[in-house]
Amino acid sequence: MARKWPRPTEAAGRVDPDAARFVLGATVEGQGSSVQATNATGIDLRMVDGGTGDCAKRSGACLQSGPFTIAYQDEAGLPWTLTLPALTWQL
């Protein structure tokens, strides 16, 4: 059965804090590493038509997320955050 998406420009939901997991990776001087972090703030989602804002017309529809923050605490106990702006995700 095909997944039924909300109608374009309709609210698609909200991801509660600590409900999403992100794998963040980096390479410094040839040494790679990654960490798993979670969202510290809620993430609001909505569907938009292709050709709306950053959603390419050929996409048909996109998922947009509002700004949110990812948080992580390293092995030394030092916390850090990464704040992301509103984003458009191609489907």
**What secondary structure, in 3-state letters, does 36-86 show?**
EEEECCCEEEEEEECCCCCCCHHHCEEEEECCEEEEEECCCCCEEEEEECC
pTM of the model: 0.76
> For residues 20 and 39, what is the distance between their CA atoms, to the nearest angstrom?
6
> Given a cut of 60, is residue 7 above it in pLDDT?
no
9-29 pLDDT, tens digit per residue, is 567 789 999 999 999 999 989
* The pair of three-digit structure tokens given for residue 25, joined into one six-digit string: 């990776």
> For residues 36 and 18, what is the distance between their CA atoms, to the nearest angstrom?
12
**CB distance 43 to 17 below 8 Å:** no
